[in-house]
Structure 1
Amino acid sequence: MLPAASDPIAPMLAKSVDTVPLPDKVAGGLSYEPKWDGFRAIVYFDGTSGPGSVEIGSRGSKMLTRYFPELVEAFSTLLPGPCVLDGEIVVQKGAAGHAKLDWDSLTQRIHPAASRVKKLAEETPAMFVAFDLLGAGDESLLEVPFGERRERLETLMAGVGHPLHLSQRTTDVELARQWLTEFEGAGLDGVVAKPLAAPYAPNKRIMLKTKHHRTADAVVTGYRMHASGNGVGSLLLGLYDADGELQSVGGASAFSDARRLELIDELDPFVLRDENGDPVKGEGERSRFSGSKDVSFVRLRPEKVVEVRYDQMEGSRFRHTVQFDRWRPDREARSCTFEQLDLPTAYDLSRVLV
């Protein structure tokens, strides 16, 4: 029986590895694909053209259908028959020949107002990149090996045009390593290796992902308390731009209970205080995702430098929350500039899409 949105499938996940794995490390070999940086989505299409014929589920099984009306129309008109697809919703920016993924525009697509959703669907239309087939016709393919599922996906998607695309794949590990470097310039963030002989395993980390790993020295500009009220929850980070201005670039978090308390003592000498000796607070940026969340933080003198690990930049900010590596007492804060960052060479997104 074809899986349905009423009983949503949890996406199969990937565990991180430091390097692109060799195919002989897994029984049956590996298939390699670009790692897309968008919204993971399971698409359920019942083969009809009426209302409710398409549902788009997220990684957390939240339905994304209402936010992407242009994709709902594309699925219902372009797909040849009933199916369940696993893939990624992405938005691109840039002129032809210079296109790349645009994470900021994608996140703006999740909006409560229907009028805003309609406007954004026209201004920043999304694409869907399919990389697995979980059902076709009236048949579930969850128990079918990935190699066969992929072949059937290619058959299903043959002749299906924009905005529905097929992710590239290869069994050549050297080409996959080349993709890891080249495709970052188009906004992708790594390579995924999938066991060819494996059935689909919802919510299990069966796949292997290799992402970019870089380090940077940043200035600690403040900290937020942990939600529990005990210790530091996250460090706020900054870098100096070409004009000598300190710009916010993101944060570092994921500290253990013990480390959160240690950080309070380590950062205390740098806390800015008012005339009464109380810590000076700042107010962080709010977005529609913040809600009533406390975004205040304790301000620090911009003197302490930390080395962090990050994967990529999105504009002038770290794309994801970075990881604390070590303090750098040997570095002057003013030396922490954007110029130190390792930026990828531009690569046209159209050369990644199939």
Structure 2
Amino acid sequence: MTATNPSASPPIEPMLAKVAQELPASEGFLFEPKWDGLRALVFSNKDGIYIQGRDKKPLNRYFPELERALFEVLPKGCVLDGEIVVSGDKGLDFDALQARIHPSTTRVALLAKKTPASFVAFDLLCAGGKSTMALPQAQRRVRLERFLAAAKPPLYLTPMTRDRAVAQDWLDRFEGAGLDGVMAKPEALPYTPAKRALFKIKHERTADCVVAGFRFYKDREDAVGSLLLGLYDELGVLQHMGSASTFTMEQRVALLEELAPLRKDALKNHPWANWGEPQAHEEERQPGVRSRSAAGKDLRWEALRPERAAEVKYDQLQGDRFRNAATFVRWRDDKPAAQCRYGQLETVGAAELQAMFTARSNKR
């Protein structure tokens, strides 16, 4: 792909963010929703559209419908930073988005029609063949708004506010639509590739879960890699919620010894004994069987009698499971495992995703 100057040429490493516990209280920040999608830079010039992923690899082949649409609506000689998302009936659908990264061309074409993607732009790196990266964040935002004034789906401009109260409302209210938190951007900040100069604020909650299995740590047989967590649904069925894997090596070794009594007769009447059947999750396999994914990850798991409860921290749900790995807090031996149920989870009602797309809270 030919570009008009070096600043418009891929690859450009995206600017990054570090985690903050709460929204900054001081002045001088622009707040935006944190979209739960695939980070991407879009380069547009006379030769076409180039979509670059966060790892600097091209994404065009996975999103042909997005490539075509952006070619039609974007002026030549521009670079946008943003997020590729897929929306469903209840908001953003990260599972459907992940499914779009598929090696089969036929499958990609089918999914492009079934679950078409959108691009939400939140920064302007180049316009008219001239770099804007040295400009302050606030000036780039003004130019971005002008640049996308006539944007139409599947291209969207992310909402922005300087009002902390509005940003807090987004953090609380729109999570049900699949949004992943709020971004805080210093308004005087130039675009600094690969630097963690932004702030991301995400929810963090706790839940008491059943520990019903574990995976070994990498290739070791003497340490726990992750605990497999579950919650009982309304029918009394133990559903897999995800895993907790943040332990020191000393803790991993100690956990294996501590869990040893629960491994005896664990598969007898175990609620997940049928893992490995076609309806099971792709990453789940029969206990004790050495199985590896295409990426070489050891997918073996070991069953535990579901008798112990643990308190864990989690950020958000993806469907009926934890979106990311949870963090182990403590054992809850004072609580019967049977009382670890879905009802304890803090759920947020699904919000209209279109309301976020069309929000007009851009206060200056």
Q: Deviations over 1:144-187 (max 9, x none)?
A: 11111111111111101000000000000111111111111211
Per the TM alignment, residue 312 of structure 1 is displaced from its structure 2 partner at its CA by 1.2
Q: Which residue of 2 aligns with 1:68?
A: 63
Q: TM-score, normalised by structure 2?
A: 0.88
Q: Which residue of 2 aligns with 1:244?
A: 236
Q: Which residue of 2 aligns with 1:294?
A: 298
Aligned counterparts of 1:14 and 1:54: Cα–Cα separation in 2: 26
Check whether the contact 1:2–1:136 (CA below 8 A) recurs between aligned residues.
no
Q: Which residue of 1 aligns with 2:346?
A: 342
258-267 or 119-128: bigger deviation = 258-267
Aligned counterparts of 1:332 and 1:116: Cα–Cα separation in 2: 45
Per the TM alignment, residue 194 of structure 1 is displaced from its structure 2 partner at its CA by 0.1
Show structure 1 runs of 5+ residues with no match: none
User: Aligned pairs, how many?
Assistant: 337
Question: 1:297 and 1:5, CA in 2 relative to 1: closer, same or farther beyond 3 A?
Answer: farther
Q: Which residue of 2 aligns with 1:113?
A: 104
Select which of 11, 14, 32 maps to 1:11. Answer: 14
Aligned counterparts of 2:293 and 2:50: Cα–Cα separation in 1: 27
2:30 alignment partner AA? S
Q: Which residue of 2 aligns with 1:270?
A: 262
Matches within 5 A, 1:72-221: 72-94=67-89, 99-221=90-212
Off by >6 Å, runs of 4+ in structure 1: none
Aligned counterparts of 2:132 and 2:266: Cα–Cα separation in 1: 64
1:31 alignment partner AA? L
Question: 1:287 and 1:274, CA in 2 relative to 1: closer, same or farther beyond 3 A?
Answer: closer
Tell me how large the CA RMSD over aligned residues is.
Answer: 2.0
Per the TM alignment, residue 345 of structure 1 is displaced from its structure 2 partner at its CA by 2.0
Check whether the contact 2:8–2:126 (CA below 8 A) recurs between aligned residues.
no
Per the TM alignment, residue 5 of structure 1 is displaced from its structure 2 partner at its CA by 4.8
Q: Is residue 325 from structure 1 mapped to residue 329 from structure 2 by the alignment?
A: yes
Residue 69 of structure 2: SS of its match in structure 1?
helix
Matches within 5 A, 1:19-98: 19-24=22-27, 29-46=28-45, 48=46, 50=47, 53-94=48-89
Show structure 2 runs of 5+ residues with no match: 268-272, 285-291, 359-364
Aligned counterparts of 2:68 and 2:26: Cα–Cα separation in 1: 39
Aligned counterparts of 1:274 and 1:112: Cα–Cα separation in 2: 38
Q: Deviations over 1:264-305 (max 9, x none)?
A: 122112113589xxxx99758435993143211111000111
Matches within 5 A, 1:296-311: 296-311=300-315
